[in-house]
Amino acid sequence: MNEFPSNDEIIEGMRVLVELIRDRGNGKLTEGIVIRKIGFLNKDRRGCLVIIKNEENKELQGRVHKILDTYSINKKNIIEHIEILPDEYYTSRKKVIELLSQSEDFIWLFQGYFRHNHFDILKEVLENNKSIKEIKIITIIQRKNQKNLFELLLENSKMFKKEYSLDIQIKILNDKDAGQKLHNRYYFTKDRQYDFIDFDQMKNSQRSEIQLLDQTEFKENSERDFLQYWNLETAFDLFNKNDVNKILEYFD
């Protein structure tokens, strides 16, 4: 007997495959986003009842046979949760780009290791969303034996800034004490904060999650989790020659 997802496993906003009531028994499954759960049983041998919205934006009733995406979208069409799974780099990358493409006005990223090849992700986001006016990235300095990675980041940062006519700022934090205290990664946009990931976690097939955080104290959260590090004297500007020279001295 098929073991279909339980009601507890199904979250509004998930992408699923359902057997529509009209298609019962003919083997046809329909893809859609769960907008409402209407079944009362946690386990149903025929699949839990839900209302989905299909590609044509029609609301349809059916029984969930398979969960396609382990992430959820709320009623305001804002992604709330993404699970990054091993060996699903391209699927996870697509989800992250979709999330960042929902940005309003700006993107602030706190990344442990932002590398030169991560600009491709931001380029896709900017192609999807022309309304973004500002990008701020703060990352942590590489190890002393990784000067080549810093030089690649510096070179690609300049090319990225030159290519786009918006406010792009990138800083590297060279503060051992601050670096040791930092465990979380964050993504901010207008009135929203996410517990985020390093982009390399997708590439390296590390299981992780992205989660929308409580928005009631956005100003306080952004001050604590981003701006206090951005404004440190040990946060060096990649587009300031004097700051770049200070970083290069670290590697020498």
Q: Where are the domains of the chain?
A: 15-68, 87-251
> According to the per-residue pLDDT averaged within each range, which of 21-30, 68-77, 79-88, 196-205 is highest?
21-30
Judging by beta carbons within 10 Å of its beta carbon (0-12, 13-18, 19+), is residue 92 exposed, middle or buried?
Answer: buried
Residue pair 72/99 in contact (Cβ under 8 Å)? The answer is: no
Sheet strands side by side (includes 192-196): 71-73, 79-84, 208-212, 192-196, 185-189, 106-111, 134-140, 167-173, 235-237
How confident is the model over 42-96, as pLDDT tens digits?
A: 889 899 999 998 888 889 999 999 988 766 666 567 788 888 877 778 878 888 9
Residue length, the chain?
Answer: 252
Residue pair 142/248 in contact (Cβ under 8 Å)? The answer is: no
Average pLDDT, rounded, for the chain: 87
Span 190-202, average pLDDT: 90
Is residue 177's pLDDT more than 90? Answer: no
SS (H, E, C) 8-19: CCCCCCCEEEEE
Helix (H, G, I), strand (E, B) or coil at 200: helix
Global confidence as pTM:
0.73
CA distance 80 to 131: 21
DSSP symbol at 56: T
Helix (H, G, I), strand (E, B) or coil at 55: coil
Q: In this predicted structure, what is the pLDDT of residue 113? A: 87
DSSP string covering 121-140? HHHHHHHH-TT--EEEEEEE
CA distance 79 to 69: 12
Q: Who contacts 218 (Cβ-Cβ below 8 Å, separation ≥6)?
A: 191, 192, 193
Q: In this predicted structure, what is the pLDDT of residue 26? A: 92
How confident is the model over 128-166, as pLDDT tens digits?
A: 999 999 999 999 887 778 889 999 999 999 999 999 999
Q: In this predicted structure, what is the pLDDT of residue 73? A: 62
Share of the chain above pLDDT 70, in %: 92
Give the least confident one: 90-99, 118-127, 177-186.
Answer: 177-186
Residue 168 pLDDT class (50, 70, 90 cuts): very high
- The single residue listed with the structure tokens 């690649």 is 152
Q: In this predicted structure, what is the pLDDT of residue 178? A: 63
Domain 87-251, CATH homologous superfamily name and number: Endonuclease Chain A (3.30.870.10)
How confident is the model over 212-221, as pLDDT tens digits?
A: 987 777 888 8
Span 98-116, average pLDDT: 93
